[in-house]
Structure 1
Amino acid sequence: MPRLLELLRWKLAVLFAWTPTRTVALNLILAVYAFAGWGAFANKASAYRDLTDQVGLLRADRDGAVNRQKELEQANNDLLREWQGKLASAREELQQAAAARDAAKGQLAGSQRELVASKKRLDQARDRVSETGSIKHAEPSKKAAVKP
């Protein structure tokens, strides 16, 4: 065991006694810088790979959003066409109802004129009857009394 310790001391002494030459020191410094450079390159490449993955995910999300927007626009256009059809149908029904109303107003006006004319004739007939006294008042018929 003491021999092993002696050997260890000798190796440590040799190691600390070693003084590098200028070329060895330059090679050692260049190796450290090369190692550091490659480490920085690997770090940047890893970050670039992560960014590339994120860009791919964002593109996929964007494409999905664009497709969803197109679907919504298509649905909106379909609804717009449907409502325009319903609106046109409602307008047509309104025009028909207005035409029917106008026709009914015309019939009402005609009926009112006929009623006024009939009342005038009735009044004239009553006046003539009261002047002459020739027509007797008719008794109401039984059928008219039965029906209210």
Structure 2
Amino acid sequence: MPRLLELLRFNIQALFAWTPKRSHVLSLILGVYALAGWGAFANKASANRDLTNQVSLLQTDRDALVGRQKELEQANLDLLREWQGKLASVREELGQAVTARDAAKGQLTSSQRELVASKKRLDQARDRVSETGSIKSTEASKKAAGKP
């Protein structure tokens, strides 16, 4: 272990004992700037590559969404046509039902008139029969005809 400390002390002393020349310092500074520049370029290129990947993914997603939107619009149009057809058939059925109802109302009205007329005839016949008393004689003749 003491040997390692001596070696480390020697290296530190050698480092501080070094006196760089102007050309060495300039080369060192230019090298550091070159490394920093290439590092910045690599970083920027990597960021651009990531952005390019993100853009391509977004374009793919957008294309998928546009396709899905077109499918939904087509499905919407199909449903609209279907409902319009159903609505037309329901309207037609409603028209037929209204026509049938009107016909039934007409028949009901004529039947009610006939019923009123029949009631009047029946009442008139009863009035005539009760005035003349012909029902009693008719009943007696029926009884007499049934006994022999």
Shorter-chain TM-score tier: 0.7 to 0.9
Match of 1:118 in 2: 118
TM-score (norm 2): 0.75
In the TM superposition, residue 28 of structure 1 has moved relative to its aligned partner by 2.0
Match of 1:77 in 2: 77
Structure 1 Cα separation of the partners of residues 27 and 108 of structure 2: 118
Matched residues, percent identical? 78
Higher mean C-alpha deviation, range 14-23 or range 39-48: 14-23
Displaced runs of 4 or more, over 6 A? 13-17
Structure 1 Cα separation of the partners of residues 16 and 118 of structure 2: 143
TM-score (norm 1): 0.75
1:34 pairs with 2:41: no
Aligned pairs for 1:1-148 (under 5 A) are 19-134=19-134, 136-137=138-139
Deviation per CA, 1:51-89, whole angstroms, max 9, x where unpaired?
A: 110111111011101111111111012112111211121
Flag the structure with higher helix content: 2
In the TM superposition, residue 17 of structure 1 has moved relative to its aligned partner by 6.2
- Unmatched tracts of structure 1, length 5 or more: 1-12, 140-148
Aligned-pair Cα RMSD in Å: 2.4
- Tell me the matched-pair count: 128
Letter in 2 for 1:68: R
Structure 2 Cα separation of the partners of residues 92 and 15 of structure 1: 104
